[in-house]
Amino acid sequence: MGTTNMILDFILVGAALWMVATVRGVGGVVGRTLNLITIGAIILGMAHFLATWQHRLLPIESSTEAFLHRVIVLLGFVLLVFGFRQIRELRT
């Protein structure tokens, strides 16, 4: 299962980079909105990647590892929310 998780981690990061390539060049408010959402997706992808590799890169206590993962995921979701809030403001 470890190999499968690593493959999926690389796919998640690859999908986030694909998002960057897709929204690149879009300007204005829509571009800023898409950039926030894309950065949030990148952080979420990296959070999963780090969850797999963190114990090898930073030998820390497992509860600290879990906490750090959740903080990174929270940051990604906050950026997604800010991006979606800007979409709401475009509607008005």
**What residue spans define the domains of the chain?**
2-91
Read off the pTM: 0.74
Q: pLDDT tens for the chain, 92 residues: list them.
A: 778 888 887 888 788 888 888 887 877 777 888 888 888 988 888 888 888 777 777 777 878 888 888 999 999 999 999 888 887 777 76
Give the per-residue pLDDT at 37.
Answer: 87
User: Dihedral through CA 36, CA 41, CA 87, CA 35, nearest 10?
Assistant: 30
Question: How far is residue 30's CA from residue 33's CA, in Å, rounded to a whole number?
Answer: 5
